[in-house]
Structures are given as C-alpha cells and as structure tokens.
Amino acid sequence: MGEEPITGARFKVETRAPGDRAFTVSTSGELSGELNLQPNFRWEGFLLNLPSRTGQGLLALTGFYTIIGTLFDPPSGQVYCEDRKEFAIQSPWGQKPTTKTLLVSSQRTEFTEPFVSKLAAWLEAAYKTRVQTVYQEGLYLGYRKGDYKDYDVIVYYGIDYQQPPPPDFLDDIANGEEITKKRVVWIGYHLDRLGEAQKNLGFQFAEQVSDPRETRLVYTYSNTDYIMRHTERSFVEITDRNLARVHATVGGRPIIVSSKHRTFPENGEYFYFVGFHPTAYVMTAGAHLVFLDILNEVYGINRGKIALVRLEDIHPRSSISALLSVTDYLKSEKVPFTLSLIPFYVDGADRTSITQESAFRTAVKQALLNGGELVVHGASHQFDGKTAEDWEFWDEKTDKPIGGAEYAEQRVKLALTEIQKAGLAPHTIGWETPHYKASEAHYAVFEKYFGFLFEPHRQFELAFVPYVIETTSSVYIGTPLGFVQNDVDISRITLEAEKLAGLKYGAIAAFFYHPFLGVDRLRALVTTLKKQGWQFQLASRLIGPIRVQFPEKP
C-alpha cells in the first residue's frame, strides 16, 4: 500500500555453527564456505535443495547455532529485511563432564550408523566426557587441521573400509604438536594409512581378516576370554616391546594394543588401537567388554568390582516370612540390598495396599533396617491383570504403550503418595519400571520424579554397558546378571559374573532375586560372588545425591 515493489532482490542464508564453522548460500547461485563445499546445489524459486546426506549433516554438531536470513538488493547492498534464529543442540547424555572427546568417522551410511552414534552415547553416558562427532561429509562438517587441540581424547572410528581418514587428520595424529599428551584411540580400519608414523608406536598393521566364525578374544590382564563374533578383524604385529603393550589377542594375534611414542616416551602410553568394531555384535560376555575396560584406562577411571542385590516384586501379598528370611540372611552376610516395592496389590477383586496391611508394612520396615533401601516398582505393576505378572505401562497384547505422560504421572503420584503414607519415604531412592517396558513419554515422567532408575537404559544397547549410565537428568543402573528362576541360573550368573570380574578397572555385577525362592539359591550366589572378589554395596552409594519428587500433600 503505497510502497514500491521490491525487484531484483536476492535472499541469503548464513549459518554459524559450533567450532567456528560457517557457510552462506544465496539466490545468486554463488556458494561460499570454509570447508568441503559440495556441488549439486540448485535453487527452485527461493528454496535451497541440498543433497540429502549434506542436509543431514548440517545440524550434526552439538553446541550453539545462529541462522540468519537476509533479503537484500545486490547492487547497493541495501537490506530489506533480516531475521535470525538462535538455538542449541545438546546431548541427552551425561552430567558434569570432566573431559572433552573428539570422535572422527567417515560419512554416515549403513556401514557407520548406528555404530558411531552408539559409541558417542556410550562415551557420554558412562565416561564423564563431552563428545563432538565429526563426520566426513557436508558443507562444513569435515575435520580441519588442528581440531584435535581442543580435546583431551581423540577417537577415530574407521568403520567404512572405502573411506580413509582425511589427510589433515592423519598428519595431526602422526605429527601434531603435543599429540602425545593427548589420548588417541584408533578403532577399526585404516591404521596402515599412518605409514611410517607406525614406527614410532612400536607396532604396525599386519593383516585384515574377514571371518564369520565365532571365536574368543582373550584379555591378557586376566587371561579371561570373551565372545567374538566380529567378522572384520584388524591384526597388528609388535615391532618394539619397549613401546607397545598387548591388551587382547584373537587366536594368539594382537588385536588391542597401546603404546608410547618413540620420541616422547616420558608422556606414557597415549595411542590405543582396537582392531574390531566394538559397537557391533554387542552381547552378554562379549568382546565389547574389554573395549569398555580399555576406555577406563584411557579416561583414568577405576570403578571397582561392585555387586548389587535387588529383592524383586515386594507387594502387600508377598510372604512376610520369605522376605524376612532372605533379608535376615543378607544382614548376617553384611550384604546390603534394595527392595523393589509395589505399593498396591490387584488381582481381580482382591485389592489392597501397604497402608492397609500393617503386618506387611512392619515387615518391610524391619527388612529395611536389616540394611536395605527401596525403589518404587510401579504403583500396582499391572493394568488389567495380576500384580507383578501384568505390565503397567505397556500392553503386551498389542505391543503398544498404555496411555501417555498424563497416565504415567498419575501412576507415579499414586505410588509415591502411598509410600509417604506408609512412612517409607526416607528409605526411597528411585524407580524401577515394571518389566522394564514403557514409552519415551512415560520415561520422561519417571526421570522428572526420580534421579535414579534401577534398570538398564533402553537405548543404544546401554544395557550391555555394566556401569552407571547418566542422562542429563537421571542415572540408570542395569542388572547385567539378570535374575534367578532355577538352579541353571546360578551357573549362568556365576559364569557371567566371572567375565565381568576379569575386567581390570571394574564393573557392576547386579542381579535381582525373588524372596519366595528361599535362601539357598541366594546363598549360593552371594558366596560365589564374594569368592570372585565382588564387594556388595548399596545402590545409593553409586548414584550421588538422591532425588525423589514426592507430592506435596500425601
């Protein structure tokens, strides 16, 4: 209305990304940027179409972003209008990181994902480090010379045989200033690309083997063997035993080694090589456990051999005598424990709660005085079936979640209110999801009310990482030894605990046990684990400050 129409204007978008990376595109058809500018960009009207892989990479870095859109007159430079958006992309993992890790890999394909993302999650969730992942793709996302200087640990994950590391990265690893004061972890392919620099490490690439047969990886620290199903295996040969140390072998051949630098041996071991893809073929007693233990050495973490016992499915219809027999035994062995408490019992018309059952409530308090603490195991551990058998947040018939966040909040508040009324709030340290099954919306509620979840995390196969797992709001501790149903499980748990005990820097050997099974099987497990060197502790000693958000008015 009265304004002259804008003609001949052009539109440009500037993106400022973490790590001082920036690029600009405009409708002039010109493209400028710092690194890795790709062809095949075209305009359709005012829309920029990016190749799909590049588009995926634009927001792959964690940190702060600024995107500025400008409509301008090219000849005069006059700006007609401008808008900007600032936002941050943050990791969902880890609390108070103490180190920074640079994770370098190839472009994202079916060969690299989800394996690289899984490694980043493991590192942030379990090793107190903040990870920046750099893929070799996109407008600006590639590794730049000197990038390593801002990090404590540099990890190269060579998972794509067809794409070697970038030349600048190879040069930095071989010749970078003070690189030997960092920690470098080289995983998988392309060690041979270091060329003559391998002579400074005391070992060198020997052979790439593809073998689909299952075998065993032997950890030299304890001479314990672990299941190896990884088809691709990169072996090395030791050229100087004064520099290189073998950590693990397959068929007697070195596959995990570490080394000092020939010129700077005073800086100690700084270079670690892992000749298989540890985030693939993850399983109980798998070779990935040795990799995880080596990472403890890299990050300077000594976890100790910690055993945890959880007494499962304690509800108002549980046998009081069975509960007290088990807790009396644990007290006699000075073994602390966690009670998994279900406040309400439902089985058809039979409905009751801990506040209605005074004898049960007294027994629970007596059990806790024997050296226990409790986690909330749902409100009733059922939806339309029997407590402790049915699911509460998942419909196993349709394989879909029951309700959403509002339903989860209602159930959590119901449970916590009952626990308050029963006088058990001071003993409550966290939550355990019934049958470990709920939706992401449910888990957001659980993490809102509880700082500790006594269950394995459901993503990125973190259930097979036997440590405390941190999200940004809560911590998880899984039960890698599972639970006891019969005598066969005693043998299984004994063997699996032995594999965990073979790790140099420790692990968590946790299991759960139903008191109605009696004392004998529990006695067998406790005796065996003590002989293996495990130290029984309260879960609360591992999780930091306890956070349970009780309703204001019970």
Q: Which pLDDT value is given to residue 2?
A: 47
CA dihedral for 517, 521, 523, 528, sign (positive or negative) = negative
Q: How far apart are CA 68 and CA 26, in angstroms?
A: 12
- Give the dihedral sign, CA 385/389/390/396: negative
Q: What pLDDT was estimated at residue 90? A: 77
Looking at residue 257, what is its pLDDT? Answer: 99
144 Cβ contact partners less than 8 Å away, ≥ 6 residues apart: 19, 34, 35, 168
- Residue 459 one-letter amino acid: Q
DSSP codes joined into one string, 180-198: GGSEEEEEES-GGGGGGGG
Q: Domains in the chain, start-ordered, CATH in brackets?
A: 10-89 (no CATH), 99-299 (3.40.50.880), 304-542 (3.20.20.370)
Q: What is the dihedral of CA 98, 537, 321, 523, to 10 degrees?
A: 130
Give the model's pLDDT for residue 24: 60
Residue 423: φ, ψ to 5° = 75, 25
- Give the pLDDT score at 223: 98
- Which among 272, 292, 5 has a CA at the least distance from the CA of 123? 292
Residue 138, pLDDT score: 54
Cβ neighbors of 44 (< 8 A, separation 6 or more) are none
Per-residue model confidence (pLDDT) at position 32: 33
> pTM score, two decimals?
0.87
What's the sign of the alpha-carbon dihedral 385, 391, 396, 401?
A: positive
How buried is residue 517: exposed, middle or buried, by Cβ count under 10 Å (0-12/13-18/19+)?
middle
pLDDT, position 136: 81
Determine contact, residues 75/126, Cβ cutoff 8 Å: no
**Coil, strand or helix at 363:** helix
Residues of the chain with confidence (pLDDT) below 70? 1-8, 17-62, 87, 137-141, 553-554
Beta bridge partners of 67: 15, 85
Segment 272-305, tens digit of pLDDT: 999 999 999 999 999 999 999 999 999 999 999 9
Strand, coil or helix: what is 251? coil
Residue 165 burial class via C-beta count within 10 angstroms: exposed 0-12, middle 13-18, buried 19 and up: buried
- pLDDT of 113 reads 79
